[in-house]
Chains A and B, each alone.
Chain A
Amino acid sequence: MDYKDIIRMALDESAEDLARALDGLTAHERRFQPSEESNHVDYMVWHVARAEDDWINAIIGQGRTIWSRDGWADRLGLPIEGNGYGMTADEARDLPQYDAGLMQQYAGSVRQETLAYLDSTTPEALDDTRDAGWRVVQVGGALSHLMVEIAEHVGHIAYIRGMMRGLDQ
């Protein structure tokens, strides 16, 4: 076992927890906001896949995102630019409705690329630096951040489900 396994297992665990938290939610539940400025599930599911795409393919991979390469903005009816970071509460609330099944397909493609990247990378690459736009990061720092960011967002979604459905339901 090495650092790649640690990252893979962390991503797998969050993916399972996310699937459980999303299972059977209605379109209405996916838009529920417990307070005016709270993010809804639709926003977070999009943001978290989009952020993973940015980190792996644009920042670490220095190439195009899956979002742009495969025309997902058009397919889902969502903005081509931005991953939701820094959106105002109004913008998050008014995020266009999208097809949840199609979003899952996008997130699945992103994850496939992430795992392919992990398979192909080397321990030495962890120390390479990348310009993330607002700061310079090491690849290892970006991967570690990605695990944390994904898990935190999964936590948000699971918490919202709990509010709506009750404990473990």
Chain B
Amino acid sequence: MDFKDIIRMALDESAEDLARALDGLTPEERRRQPSPESNHIDFIVWHLAKAEDDEINSIIRQGATIWTRDGWGERLGVPIEGDGYGMTAEEVRNLPAYDPALLQEYADSVRQETLAYLDSTTPEALDEERDAGWRIVKVGNALSHMLVEIAQHTGHVAYIRGTLRGLDK
């Protein structure tokens, strides 16, 4: 077992937890905001996949995102350049409605690329530096951050489900 397995297992666990938290939610539930400035699930799920895409394909691999490469903005009807970071509460509330199944397809393509990247990378690459725009990061740090960000957002979604459905329902 090495750093790749640790990362893969963490991504798998969050993916399973996220699937469980999303299972069977209605469009209304996915848009539910427990307070006016709280993020809804549609926002979080989109942001999460887009952030992983940015982190892996744009920042670490210095290439095009899957979002751009495969025209996902148009396919999903979400013509937004950024990944949602820094959006105002109003912008979040007004995120265009999208097809959750199609978003899942996008998220799956992103994850496939992430796993392909992990397969192909080396321990030495962890120390390489990348310009993330607002700061210089090491690749290892970007990967660690991604794990934490994905798990935290999964936590948000699970918590919202709990407020809507009750404990473990």
Give A residues with C-beta under 8 Å from B: 1-3, 5-7, 9-10, 13-14, 17, 34-39, 88-89, 123, 126-127, 138, 140-141, 143-145, 147-156, 158-160, 162-164, 166-167
- Identify A1's interface contact among B34, B126, B152, CB under 8 A: B126
A154 cross-chain contacts in B, Cβ below 8 A = 152, 155
B52 to chain A, nearest CB (A): 14
Prevailing SS type, chain B contact patch: helix
Q: B144 interface residue, CB < 8 Å from A? A: yes
- Identify B13's interface contact among A17, A38, A144, A167, CB under 8 A: A144
A154 to B159, CA, bound (A): 11
Is the beta-carbon distance between A1 and B127 smaller than 8 angstroms? yes
Is the beta-carbon distance between A35 and B144 smaller than 8 angstroms? no
Is the beta-carbon distance between B147 and A38 smaller than 8 angstroms? no
Is the beta-carbon distance between A152 and B151 smaller than 8 angstroms? yes
Give B residues with C-beta under 8 Å from A: 1-3, 5-7, 9-10, 13-14, 17, 34-39, 88-89, 123, 126-127, 138, 140-141, 143-145, 147-148, 150-156, 158-160, 162-164, 166-167
A127 cross-chain contacts in B, Cβ below 8 A = 1
> CB-nearest residue of chain A relative to B8?
A144
- Can you identify 25 A-B contacts, CB atoms within 8 angstroms? A1-B126, A3-B3, A5-B144, A6-B6, A6-B7, A6-B140, A14-B148, A17-B148, A35-B162, A37-B162, A89-B166, A140-B6, A148-B17, A148-B147, A151-B155, A155-B158, A155-B159, A156-B158, A162-B35, A162-B37, A162-B38, A162-B39, A164-B35, A167-B37, A167-B89
